């Protein structure tokens, strides 16, 4: 994780909580901010990209390590 990323740690929560936390973080972040969401609910793999397409944010990267999903997101500038 880069120092300029905003970390949203939603591990241990079931959907829709990870998406709701991501929404709140995006609302508070400045234009062009990069956020990293960590989630361990398998449904996040479906919910997060769907949510991002609805708000116009860009999914830059998705990774899965030891059951933890990591999403790197860019807020529109």
Mean pLDDT computed over every residue of the chain = 95
Domain that holds residue 15: 11-74
Say what the pLDDT of residue 3 is.
73
Token pair 């241990």 in the structure block, residue: 12
Judged against a pLDDT cut of 90, whether residue 1 lies above it is answered with: no
- pTM here is 0.94
Domain membership of residue 18 (yes or no) is yes
pLDDT tens per residue, range 24-52: 999 999 999 999 999 999 999 999 999 99
Q: How many domains does the chain have?
A: 1
Domain membership of residue 2 (yes or no) is no
Residues 28, 41: Cα–Cα separation, whole Å: 24
Give the confidence band of 2 by pLDDT, cuts at 50, 70, 90.
Answer: low
Three-state DSSP at 17 gives: helix
Domain membership of residue 5 (yes or no) is no
**CA-closest candidate to residue 69, choices 15, 27, 33, 25:** 15
Domain membership of residue 40 (yes or no) is yes
Q: What is the CATH number of the domain that holds 20?
A: 3.30.110.40
Domain membership of residue 6 (yes or no) is no
**How many residues are listed for the chain in this entry?**
77
């Amino acid at each position: 994780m880069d120092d300029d990323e905003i970390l949203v740690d939603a591990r241990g929560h079931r959907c829709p909580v990870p998406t709701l936390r991501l929404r709140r973080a995006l609302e508070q972040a400045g234009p062009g901010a990069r956020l990293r969401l960590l989630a361990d609910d398998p449904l996040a793999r479906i919910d997060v990209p769907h949510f991002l397409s609805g708000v116009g944010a860009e999914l830059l990267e998705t990774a899965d390590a030891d059951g933890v999903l990591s999403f790197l997101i860019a807020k529109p500038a």
